[in-house]
Structure 1
Amino acid sequence: MKPILTLSFICVMSILVTGQTITIRTERAADRAFEQFSYAKAADLYRETLKDTKDSLRLTLRIADCYRYLNLPDSVERYLRTVADQPHIDPIYHYYFAEALLSNNNYREAEYWYENYKNALSDDARTPLKLDALQHLSSFFTDSANYTIRRLDCNTPGLDFSPVMYGGGLLFVSSRTLDREWVKVDFNWDESRFLDLFYLNNATGEVTYFHESLKSKYHEGPADFYDGDTRIAFTRNNFSGKRIKRDDEGVTRLKIYFSTYNEQKQQWESITPYEHNSDSYSVGHPALNDEGSIMIFTSDMPGGAGETDLYISYKEEGKWMTPKNLGLSVNSEGREMFPTLVGQRLFFASDGMGGLGGLDIFSIDLSSDYEPTGEAVNVGYPINSSRDDFGLVANDDFSHGYFTSARIDAYRDDVYEFSFTRSEGERRGFVLDARTGQPIVQADVFLLDTVSQTEIYTRSDSDGAFEMPILSGVVWAVKSGKFGYLLSEEVLVGSDYKADVIIRLHQEPSVKMKFPIAIDALLRMYDSLANLPGADIGLNVHEDYMGMDFRVQPIYYDLDKYGLRPEAVTELDKLKGFLLDHPRVVVEMSSHTDSRAGDEYNLNLSQMRVNAAFDYLISQGVADKQLIPQGYGATRPVVDCTGRECSEAEHQMNRRTEFLIIGIE
């Protein structure tokens, strides 16, 4: 019996050791595939290993990384959800989790994890932009009714992207093959086919290879035409002869090449490389002005702001000058890619700025020498979606164009056509300071159709300007408001209104608060702190004289949001300075909501609002003993909406946090 037991024990141990050996080998194979950028293969091997190992955190994160590189946010969310709350996880995975949630339209949970990441790593400039976008989601839908979009019939189950209008048709990049039914073949990164340039004939709908002379056995990518469409700049893998070249990390970089069309031979020839290509980093996605004297492109060269940045290069006396980074008005700590030029406007894709998820398309105006001016603006829905959107091209008046989107399936990029139709007419309006006549930036503008009671919300731009549709038979009641200003008088604008609409805002007078005296309960008012009996600059006053008149502005919030607006931060900074100068003063921070939700919800939301302001002041060095944060829900409205329908502007006045000096420590 004993020999039998011994033999059984040996067999069991042999099976266990063999199983462990197979698991270790599988994990090592997964690591090799990951290091070789074979993320699809690595994900399969890691998943197999995960079934038989206790080291679940490392493997789960590796699987999530694979799916992140493969741009599959559903899978990223699924795996990171199982480990996101573990105590020793790298905070960057909270950011990755929030990004996946955003791409999956899970906005509230995304906001929570962005906040988590911001608390751990407050110096990442992307997070405030992401949070601000989530708190102003409605702004992305302002012009959505003016767009019509259509997915092109020529798309395949693979990758089709980066369209360029050319010769009555469309040049684009695709992983398709024309000689057989579409199939997947083994390309390392995601097991898809290599990319080529294709041409769509708009008249016939036929798709062909663009030109054999520009086709290699490796990747050809995004391109642009210039000089009357007789020259092309395009992206291609780094290879020499018939062999692909890799850098020290085993990466095949991208390079930009130029070619000229020979009309007589009807082919592209004289392929020459861009002078600042490199074997150590990638340059690609060229966008050129019509003359071919300026090129903006994507690169991950050292010294950039993020993973990939946009650069500009000038051509002088036949030579391309050293590229220059386009700066922080365009580039972020994330990815900026796929630039295109429409006149003096630059369109590009970014995942480092505030948007709807994944890569979003932004635009920014350019100066005469193609330097960015002003701020980049998200072009909004329906051009942008929660998934990757990029590669927008359009005609000069932006009435028609094309773009790329992965909104249907993360495995595929598709080309879409869009048209932008303005209403019967559009009237421009301006919001101005009534005293100075200066434009007011980011003022809230409300347009109410007096017949249908339809309301449109927009904001003034950097010139104080806004646009409004002029429709036959419609009379708009226009109002505007801005933090620090009184709500404007109503202006009626009908279809026969010919002039620009001018809205003048008057500055709001400072709010004077009365504060109680601690001992004898008498109320004493003074013009300033300096006039308190026995007071000096340090606020060393007797406890009997805590009554004071303190000039303070409430801060306001967007509907259902608790994040701090930029103007709220400005006001909090003033309060911070006062409290740091007077460390014995104690202030109650009282937060309020409007009345459009239930009591419990409003109470919780008001507490979240005041906590956000409290946390900001603490982060700026204010002692927590100086602050008493308290949420009151909708119990203390400035405007009572009981029994009547309040306007949005009136609701806005109720969504606030106020500050009350209640004592001296």
Structure 2
Amino acid sequence: MKKATHSSLISSFLLLWGFLLLQVSCTSLQQKAQNQFSAGEYQVAINSYSKLLEKEPDNSKANLYIAESYRLSNRVEKAADFYEKVSEEDATFESHYYQGKSLKGQGQYEEATAAFEAAKKLTMDDERIALAEKEIQNIEAISSIEPIWPNHELENYELLNTSGIDYAPVLSENYLYFTSSRGAGDIYPATGQGYTRLFRARAEGVNVDAQNVQTLPEFPNEGGLNQGAIAISPDGNTIIYARGNAGTKNDLPDVSLFASYFRGGGFTEPIFMPVNGEPEYWNSTPAFSPDGEVLYFASNRPGGFGGSDLYKSTKLANGDFGNVVNMGPEINTPGNEMFPRPMPNREFYFSSDGHPGYGKLDLFVYKEEEGKAVVRNLGPNFNSLADDFGIFFTDYPKEGFITSNREGGKGDDDIYYFKDMTPPPKVVNVLLNVETRERLETGEEKILPQTRVVLYDENNQTIDGNFSSQNGRLRFPLEPEKNYSMIASKNGYFTKSIPYSTVGKTPSQDELIEQVTNIALDTTIVLEQLVLERAIVLENIYYDLDKAEIRPDAAEELDKLVQILKDNPGIRIELSSHTDARASDAYNDDLSQRRAESAVEYIVSQGIDSDRLEARGYGERQLIIENAQTEEEHQTNRRTEFKVIEITD
């Protein structure tokens, strides 16, 4: 009995001792993980806190710091379950808000919206409520995003990428410069990936010699820190890049911009740039303006609109950059904006997770549309749930590069190239067959050979011209949906101009089947002989009873005579008016004279010199049908004529 009691006491002691050892072990591990988190060693901290969760799955601190480690190392999409655990224990605005960000990064938009709504209920702070509401509005706007270039296609540059990090390519003087973790000897504890360095390879457009990548030759990469996004001035004489995340206490605590200048046949050692401001500010993703006079970059310095904002700095007289200015709320948001890319046409490309987008960083353009500055998401053919950033055009806007860590890549961040795959438009060849004819006095028509025909575009510029053949034919190639005019001339004939349009006379692109379609069109130009003193009746010139004013329908017919006079500037004409015989001679003479003068006045009002016109009223003295009986016969006698009375040229 005593023996049994003694054995029981030993077991209880061992159990208590084991429990105390476990507590000490957990406490020690938690302190170690906390130290790693505080040092920014987020991946190492995740590993330590994960071991702690194996023993204590409901440890609220461990869940929180794992979630925060993922968020702060730009992997917030992996943090949703951990934020959810935190919210189950002690929900806060932050736990629900960042859970929403994580769920959005996974494409779970409904669940993300619910998390943002829950976050709004846990704060009375208007700014925080606005943050959550902005995220909800951004999710609602996703359905309205349309591709800017619907036929652009992305392709992973597999030969260039590695299983690590490859990002932010820029082209300069037939070399592609980019950032990569390839060949890294040390691991960056924040991400668990190798430290990044700067590399280059020969390139022509998007065609890169990926088999011969070399480290940056201008100056050596430094070990134990990250060399990040690079910018090269348009003249190739200045290199600016981001450098930081050093593992030693002697270096700068965060990421800063460094510059190297071409001097005396080589590049200088990189130096810290004044635009960085305070050492604790994060500054990165530089880019030059097309003329090299402005430097754009991202920074988290105080006074911005959110996490990281885009800034610009103007080159000073001494060559340094100063006068740092925030680019404003049209571009910057409460989220993160980075990787600027200004273009010569004043369009401004950048990446953001604060404008309406699919998940994390998306590519956007800031440009002017209809007199208003707008920000547009580049669309689903460029952007994904993951980070999409660092656009660079090698041939704007047809081809270039971006970086993405989307699913299906070769490594973490991968370089992608894009090309415009819009199929070439189907070709329509329009051939206009022109026939030149003359109208005889009998009213019949016959072929008029060797007639000069000149083709003009809608701006009255000469396109083509030729003489018709002995068969009165010639041919002009035209373009679809265009307006033209032709002028036909021949000695002894009235020169004549006619409009011609191919608008609506060819199939649309959607209707075309073959790559090349030939369309033949036909038209005829009929010329009148130019004979002195031969009267030509102007049809459909009518006047109201006992009146001489030009009616609208008569004006349309007189416009044809105006065109004849414009086409034939070397003629003078007599314009005559005739009446029927149903009133007195004196009345008819007066009425016909007034009508003839009224017609001449109208023609002069259309730009014809009055010296080229004579008005004659013949009354009933030149009847075509004597003793007219019917109204139709009287109408034949009531007519307006013109005849050429002089040819000056």
- TM-score category of the 2 structures, normalised to the smaller one: 0.5 to 0.7
Q: Contact between 1:224 and 1:288, CA under 8 Å: does it hold in 2?
A: yes
CA distance in 1, matches of 2:340, 2:97: 25
**With structure 2 as the length reference, what TM-score do the two structures score?**
0.59
Change (3 A) 1:170 1:108: same
Q: Contact between 1:358 and 1:386, CA under 8 Å: does it hold in 2?
A: yes
Q: Contact between 1:404 and 1:416, CA under 8 Å: does it hold in 2?
A: yes
1:174 matched to 2:176? The reply is: no
Residue in 2 that maps onto 1:339 = 340
* Counterpart residue identity of residue 405, structure 2: A
Shift of 1:207: 1.2
Shift of 1:253: 1.7
CA distance in 2, matches of 1:150, 1:471: 32
Change (3 A) 1:90 1:163: same
CA distance in 2, matches of 1:114, 1:235: 34
Instruction: Give runs of aligned pairs for residues 181-580 of structure 1, distance below 5 A.
Output: 185-202=186-203, 204-205=209-210, 206-211=212-217, 213-217=219-223, 218-237=225-244, 245=250, 252-261=253-262, 265=265, 267-269=266-268, 271-277=270-276, 278-318=278-318, 319-343=320-344, 344-365=346-367, 374-395=373-394, 397-408=396-407, 412-422=412-422, 472-474=509-511
Shift of 1:74: 5.0
Shift of 1:284: 2.0
Residue in 2 that maps onto 1:567 = none
Shift of 1:54: 7.6
Q: Contact between 1:211 and 1:268, CA under 8 Å: does it hold in 2?
A: no
Residue in 2 that maps onto 1:11 = 14
Residue in 2 that maps onto 1:29 = 32
- The residue matched to 2:381 in structure 1 has which SS? coil
CA distance in 1, matches of 2:368, 2:236: 22
1:140 matched to 2:177? The reply is: no
Q: Contact between 1:342 and 1:393, CA under 8 Å: does it hold in 2?
A: no
Residue in 1 that maps onto 2:532 = none
1:157 matched to 2:163? The reply is: yes
Shift of 1:303: 1.7
Instruction: Give runs of aligned pairs for residues 1-150 of structure 1, distance below 5 A.
Output: 1=3, 2-53=5-56, 56-73=59-76, 75-84=78-87, 86=88, 88-121=90-123, 123-124=127-128, 125-143=130-148, 145-150=150-155
CA distance in 2, matches of 1:474, 1:226: 48
1:44-94 per-residue CA deviation (whole Å, 9 max, x = no partner) reads: 21122223348622221211112222333453123234444x373111221
Gaps of 5+ in 1: 178-182, 427-469, 476-495, 497-665
Count of aligned residue pairs for this structure pair: 415
Shift of 1:317: 1.6
1:137-167 per-residue CA deviation (whole Å, 9 max, x = no partner) reads: 3333444641111111210111101110122
CA distance in 2, matches of 1:415, 1:54: 38
Report the structure number with the largest CA radius of gyration.
2
CA distance in 2, matches of 1:347, 1:158: 26
Aligned alpha-carbon RMSD (Å): 3.0
Shift of 1:390: 0.8
Change (3 A) 1:40 1:471: farther
Q: Contact between 2:100 and 2:112, CA under 8 Å: does it hold in 1?
A: yes
* Counterpart residue identity of residue 387, structure 1: A
CA distance in 1, matches of 2:94, 2:388: 23
Shift of 1:412: 0.5
CA distance in 2, matches of 1:98, 1:243: 35
CA distance in 2, matches of 1:230, 1:366: 32
CA distance in 2, matches of 1:150, 1:380: 16
Change (3 A) 1:142 1:337: closer
Change (3 A) 1:27 1:271: closer
Change (3 A) 1:389 1:314: same
- The residue matched to 2:270 in structure 1 has which SS? strand
Shift of 1:21: 0.6
1:604-639 per-residue CA deviation (whole Å, 9 max, x = no partner) reads: xxxxxxxxxxxxxxxxxxxxxxxxxxxxxxxxxxxx
**With structure 1 as the length reference, what TM-score do the two structures score?**
0.58
Shift of 1:359: 0.8
CA distance in 2, matches of 1:12, 1:187: 41
Gaps of 5+ in 2: 427-506, 513-518, 520-649
CA distance in 1, matches of 2:209, 2:420: 24
CA distance in 2, matches of 1:64, 1:55: 14
Q: Contact between 1:160 and 1:172, CA under 8 Å: does it hold in 2?
A: yes
* Counterpart residue identity of residue 135, structure 1: E
Q: Please, which moves more after superposition, 38-47 or 104-113?
A: 104-113
1:370-412 per-residue CA deviation (whole Å, 9 max, x = no partner) reads: xx97232211112110001111111463111101001026971
CA distance in 2, matches of 1:136, 1:309: 22
Residue in 2 that maps onto 1:526 = none
- The residue matched to 1:364 in structure 2 has which SS? strand
